[in-house]
Structure 1
Amino acid sequence: MKKVLVLSSAHPWDDERVFSKITKSLSKKYETALCAVADKQFFEVDRIKIFGLPKLPRSKRYKNYLRIIKIINEFKPDIIHFHDPDLLVLSLYFKFFLKKKVIYDVHEDYPLAFKDRKYFPEPFSTLFSIFFNLAEKTISKLLDGVVTVTEDIYSKFNCINKEVIKNYPVAETIFEEKDSTIDGTLNLIYIGSVSQSRGITNLILAVKSLHELDIKLDIVGPAENQKYFEEIKKYEDEKIRIWGRVPKKDIPGILKNAHVGFVTLLPLSRYKTSLPLKLFEYMAAKVAVVASDFELWRRIVEEADCGVLVDPTDIQSICQAILFFYNNRDQIIKKGLNGYKAFMEKYNWANEEKKLFQFYERIV
């Protein structure tokens, strides 16, 4: 049996895509191990070997390189499936010195992301984005395969073996059954990473401006940084709760009580071409959706008729969406069920798993 090492120097070992999807799916066909960020150096989950790496900032992740090479020499994989752009240069070592087959899993449009995040002042941020784009596309041609999460990112890679494996939720995820009637308080929810660029401040201000309505907002997920977390914590009251990070096992229970889920990310380049996992998790949990009016997201929401679209930069637009569901409770049930139907038929991991297996058959 061929051996596969799934590798990430940035993601925690239990990351939804890295472990729950890619690693678990590959373990059905291959002897699969995972090397990712973890508190322990070694442990096993569901008979999958987990090799832990210390969590390091991007600028210091090179310090994990020797341990990664040691793990590769110990596990002796035939294929290395890596998930982070900071491993691109090291992937050439895997390919040409260790003689491994190497797959690059691209989670987002990194040249756009680096430009948006402005790690450097202009014009250096733009120059770095251009340089990284050239390096990424050049190195990827030398590898055995590239996996991307969207068609838009896929189109930017010019290599022989490439595939779109979208980040849809696992259909077996257990979401608790929702009530068939919706009266009283309208429960709004946001689940995911918490930052201003993800529209959290505007969402909070929209709810604050509708103080006369019987609504509650739960914001669930880790903040981008402690400063921002403390900033939004000041808005907490009887209508707004800031949870912070919660165990993944608690998410289905939290979603059970939610009526409307928000994915109102601001119109940054990297978000416009992304497929946010939370959108599909809301659909899987029969939660009506309020989403940013990006072209890619619009096609999904309108085709499934699972929610409404807003301008995420306009607080009044977000308010209008809340008022729509507040005054039309039947639409919450209708759009929630529509979203669930679309999730079960199209937007679930089972379909992507089949594509992953076919892709690996070409590589092997």
Structure 2
Amino acid sequence: MRIVFIGHSGEQYPHTRVRCYGFAKALKERGFDTRVLSFKDHLADHLREEDMYAHLRDREKMKLVLRGAWKLLCEPADLFYIQKVHFHTASPYLLHRILRRKYVLDYDDYDVPLSNFFNRGRWNRLLFGSHKWDAITEKVARNAIGTVVSSHALEEYMAPLNSRVARIETGVDAHDFRPPREERPADAPLTFLWNGIVWGDEIFRCVVMAIQAFELVSREFPHSRLLIVGGGFQWQRLIDFSKQHYDHVPLIFQGWYPPQAMPSVLRETDIGILPFALDNEWVRSKSPTKLFEYMAAGLAVVASDIGEVGHVIQSGQNGILVKDQESMTEAMLALARSREYRQTISANARQTILDRYSMEKLGDRLAEFMKTLPV
């Protein structure tokens, strides 16, 4: 079976890296003929990732859609694998409408309120048959020969729209990540980590929650530090806010690292933080890449008990689930106070990835699902 994976973003962004490039590689290793068409990497390499989401005019989007459609038209593929429903979906969807080309929809976030379609409704009506973002998403899902989702919440969302739904989490290549170095100096600072793309107010609030929790931890453990790694639209705002309100807290801001460098960063870290400062459908639907990377690297993880996280972490065994900022602080202190506790959580977290969420396991599950499709 020849499959073209079609992504909106580039390999630098986790959804495309894991669910296009990673899944394509996994299927290729299992005998499928796979290729990737990334709109960012292959059609708009001159643009920044931020431009793909916020700065493209409709005319530029249409040019990319037409170029993408031409490339796909010339591609001898049995199946398209569409990752996310944004404007890039118009290319394979147009070929489906005209030539009945078959496709699978991969949906890893509840993107309806954040969808990146055309700004003018008439272009959306022309290409998708509707100007409403929810209607477009549902139409694309209904016409797919199968859907792949990343979480239990998205599985429930897709079930009424398509009879073939497979839940394949956004896992990790366990070979790329290793537990923290045992030879780290005994006097090395206890390091907490948050990393990600601060793309909007939702993520900004999550990082602030982590900073506020860590402020109390640092009072008892002044030799500790919170490492914040990332970028995005709100990155500078986060730095300025922290300097204004938390200049007394040992925070270290590091800019964007390429994905290939993150395993080395995680090996110098002790505890990974995954806070959610709000509870909505988008958060409940997430299958956070950083969670799986933290666990694969053997970090002890403290995470808000919202959505898919609760299906991955058994609190007190392979991580700690928390309800609010206060319980997050308590969990961080518990781990800071006991190296043995951290090591137990770390070992169990790593084993969870090997047993359930490694690309090896996910690749097997995805391959079995693809074989059931009417291609």
Are 1:300 and 2:307 an aligned pair? no
Are 1:197 and 2:202 an aligned pair? yes
What's the CA shift for 1:200?
A: 0.7
Amino acid at match of 1:34: V
> Structure 1 residues 330-339 or 141-150, which shifts more?
141-150
> Deviations 1:277-307 (Å, cap 9, x if unpaired)?
1112111111101100225423432267122
CA RMSD of aligned residues (A): 3.0
| Counterpart Cα distance in 2 of 1:37 and 1:248 | 19
| Counterpart Cα distance in 1 of 2:268 and 2:167 | 33
Which of 323, 327, 348 is matched with 2:333 structurally? Answer: 323
Amino acid at match of 1:254: V
Secondary structure of the residue aligned to 1:279 is helix
What's the CA shift for 1:31?
A: 2.8
Are 1:245 and 2:256 an aligned pair? yes
Which aligned pairs between 1:37-56 and structure 2 lie closer than 5 A?
Answer: 37-38=39-40, 54=47, 56=52
> Structure 1 residues 263-272 or 231-240, which shifts more?
231-240
> Structure 1 residues 51-60 or 327-336, which shifts more?
51-60
| Counterpart Cα distance in 2 of 1:180 and 1:338 | 20
What's the CA shift for 1:250?
A: 1.7
Are 1:169 and 2:176 an aligned pair? no
Q: Is the 8 A contact 2:225 2:251 kept in 1?
A: yes
How many pairs does the alignment contain? Answer: 338
Q: Percent identity?
A: 17
User: What is residue 124 of structure 2 aligned with on the other side?
Assistant: none
> Structure 1 residues 285-294 or 349-358, which shifts more?
349-358
User: What is residue 215 of structure 1 aligned with on the other side?
Assistant: 224
> Deviations 1:22-66 (Å, cap 9, x if unpaired)?
22123333332211144665xxxxxxxxx9685533563333111
> Deviations 1:181-227 (Å, cap 9, x if unpaired)?
89543111112223652311122233334443221111112234354
Cα distance change, pair 244–52 in 1 and its aligned pair in 2 (3 A): closer
| Counterpart Cα distance in 2 of 1:299 and 1:360 | 24
What's the CA shift for 1:238?
A: 8.0
Amino acid at match of 2:5: V
> Structure 1 residues 352-361 or 294-303, which shifts more?
294-303
Secondary structure of the residue aligned to 2:176 is coil
> Deviations 1:286-345 (Å, cap 9, x if unpaired)?
110110022542343226712222234x3x333222221222221111111111111111
Q: Is the 8 A contact 1:6 1:32 kept in 2?
A: yes
User: What is residue 122 of structure 2 aligned with on the other side?
Assistant: none
User: What is residue 123 of structure 1 aligned with on the other side?
Assistant: none
User: What is residue 186 of structure 1 aligned with on the other side?
Assistant: 190
Cα distance change, pair 189–165 in 1 and its aligned pair in 2 (3 A): same
Secondary structure of the residue aligned to 1:167 is coil
Q: Which runs of 5+ in 2 are unaligned?
A: 120-130
User: What is residue 57 of structure 1 aligned with on the other side?
Assistant: 53
Secondary structure of the residue aligned to 2:298 is coil
User: What is residue 31 of structure 1 aligned with on the other side?
Assistant: 33
What's the CA shift for 1:258?
A: 0.9
Q: Is the 8 A contact 1:174 1:252 kept in 2?
A: yes
> Deviations 1:76-120 (Å, cap 9, x if unpaired)?
322111113124454432213133211111011223656xxxx9x
Amino acid at match of 1:170: D
| Counterpart Cα distance in 2 of 1:72 and 1:131 | 26
User: What is residue 107 of structure 2 aligned with on the other side?
Assistant: 106
| Counterpart Cα distance in 2 of 1:181 and 1:225 | 33
User: What is residue 258 of structure 1 aligned with on the other side?
Assistant: 269
Secondary structure of the residue aligned to 2:8 is strand
Cα distance change, pair 247–331 in 1 and its aligned pair in 2 (3 A): same
Which aligned pairs between 1:90-169 and structure 2 lie closer than 5 A?
Answer: 90-111=91-112, 131-157=132-158, 158-169=161-172
| Counterpart Cα distance in 2 of 1:298 and 1:19 | 25
- With the length of structure 1 as denominator, give the TM-score of the two structures: 0.82
What's the CA shift for 1:167?
A: 0.7
- With the length of structure 2 as denominator, give the TM-score of the two structures: 0.79
| Counterpart Cα distance in 2 of 1:268 and 1:308 | 18
Secondary structure of the residue aligned to 1:100 is coil
